[in-house]
């Protein structure tokens, strides 16, 4: 496990940090981008696009469509905003399992806490903290599967000791996710006004 902490003093610097990271990423990497509204998550994805050889200007908040795909020099950058994902069906509708199974795209997820149970064990966590006007602290952590779990978390079936899965099948992964959405697991984010309203009007259409 390795953690890198960087300080950025401008959106351009955040993009440069992300672009440098992107050049070291293998296809199939999932990045979980954490940070409050306006922290710079989308800005970071713009830098990823630049580093991967995609058009950075095409990157915008995917708020109302959940995901955007960008063609890169080598493969695809998939940009997901999980903020509005409310059910396993929402996640299935963007082909999440296939996306992970194919392993040919770099996947960047904003508001990853919404789909915490569905994130792969092996991923890169990027945490962006707003320190001052234009100053951000960016923590980049490579998370790898730690101790192998002996049994599927959903049904208890024994797992291969050298595998890195927590579930025996995609079905069990989705069953566990369903439990998560039913509220059996906590959401690691304070409740916002928008959570109490339905539809985009609650946020006044603000970009994230």
Closest Cα to residue 80, out of 24, 136, 133, 118? 118
Choose which of 18, 32, 39, 118 interacts with ligand ADP (CB under 6 A).
39
**Minimal CB distance residue for ligand ADP:** 40
Cα–Cα distances (Å) from 120 to 8, 23, 45, 125, 160, in that order, read 28, 21, 19, 11, 17
Question: By C-beta, is 112 or 159 nearer to ligand ADP?
Answer: 112
Strand 30-34 and strand 105-110: the pairing is: parallel
- Residue 14's binding partner out of ligand ADP, Mg ion, none, with CB under 5 to 8 Å set by partner kind: ligand ADP
**Could you tell which of ligand ADP, Mg ion, none binds residue 78, using a CB distance below 5 to 8 A set by kind?**
none
Using the rule CB under 6 A, give the single segment among 34-42, 47-55, 111-119, 197-205 that binds ligand ADP: 34-42
Report residue 166 as tokens.
């927590």
Neighbours of 182 (CB within 10 A): 10
CA torsion sign, 80 to 122 to 181 to 102?
positive
Residue (37 or 187) nearer to ligand ADP, CB: 37
Integer angstrom CA distances of residue 136 from 20, 21, 183: 17, 16, 32
- Tallying the residues shown for the chain, one arrives at 208
163 binds, among ligand ADP, Mg ion, none (CB under 5 to 8 A by kind): none
Among 15, 22, 41, 140, binds Mg ion (CB under 5 A): 41
Where in 85-124 is the site for ligand ADP (CB under 6 A)? 110
Rg (alpha carbons) of the chain, rounded to whole number: 17
- Total residues contacting ligand ADP (rule CB under 6 A)? 20
Given Mg ion, ligand ADP, none, residue 67, with its beta carbon under 5 to 8 Å by kind, binds: none
- 63 touches, from Mg ion, ligand ADP, none (C-beta below 5 to 8 Å by class): none
Query: Measured between alpha carbons, how far is 158 from 10 in angstroms, rounded to an integer?
Result: 49
Q: Using CB under 6 A, which of 35, 62, 75, 112 touches ligand ADP?
A: 35
**Residue closer to ligand ADP (CB basis): 37 or 170:** 37
Backbone angles phi, psi at 88, to 5 degrees: -60, -30
Q: Which stretch binds ligand ADP (CB under 6 A): 10-18, 116-124, 173-181, 186-194?
A: 10-18
Q: How far apart are alpha carbons 112 and 135 in whole angstroms?
A: 23
Instruction: Determine the distance from the C-alpha atom of residue 169 to the mean position of all C-alpha atoms in its chain, rounded to a whole number.
Output: 21
Binding site for Mg ion (CB under 5 A): 41-42, 61, 110, 208
């Amino acid at each position: 496990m390795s953690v890198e902490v960087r300080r950025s003093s401008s959106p351009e610097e955040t993009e440069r940090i992300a672009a440098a990271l992107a050049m070291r990423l293998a296809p199939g990497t999932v990045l979980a981008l954490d940070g409050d509204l306006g922290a710079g998550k989308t800005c970071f994805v713009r830098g990823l696009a630049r580093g991967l050889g995609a058009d950075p200007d095409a990157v915008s908040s995917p708020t109302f469509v959940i995901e955007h795909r960008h063609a890169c020099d080598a493969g695809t950058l998939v940009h997901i905003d999980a903020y509005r994902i409310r059910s396993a069906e929402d996640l299935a509708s963007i082909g999440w399992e296939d996306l992970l199974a194919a392993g040919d795209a770099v996947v960047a997820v904003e508001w990853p806490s919404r789909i915490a149970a569905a994130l792969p064990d092996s991923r890169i966590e990027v945490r962006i903290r707003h320190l001052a006007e234009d100053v951000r602290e960016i923590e980049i952590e490579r998370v790898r599967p730690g101790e192998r779990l002996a049994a599927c978390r959903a049904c208890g079936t024994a797992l291969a000791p050298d595998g890195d899965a927590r579930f025996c099948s995609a079905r069990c992964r989705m069953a566990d996710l369903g439990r998560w959405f039913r509220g059996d697991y906590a959401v690691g984010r304070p409740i916002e006004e928008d959570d109490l309203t339905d539809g985009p009007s609650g946020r006044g259409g603000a970009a994230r």
